[in-house]
Amino acid sequence: MQMVMALACRYMGLTQAQALAAATINAAYAIGRGHEIGSLEVGKQADILILETADYRQLGYRFGTNLVQQVIKKGEVVVNNRQFA
């Protein structure tokens, strides 16, 4: 997904924020589930991806490396790559 976001910024002219929105909330609405997933809001399913980056604007420049530290699905940790966990 990082590569897709990078390509969207480079070749489609999206900003990092627009690419992130396209990959999250807009994608959720595209499959008819925007009211329950796609953003961090009260009442929505707790699906969270914790990445090893200081700022979301770095996502498009760090493709080719696995930035995933943790994956939380429905409030439960399902992947934990954190070094200090």
**pLDDT in single tens digits along all 85 residues of the chain:** 888 988 999 999 999 999 999 999 999 999 999 999 999 999 999 899 998 888 988 887 777 888 889 999 998 999 998 765 5
Helix (H) or strand (E) holding 16: helix 16-23
Quick one: pLDDT at residue 84? 55
| DSSP H stretches of helix in the chain | 2-12, 16-23, 25-30
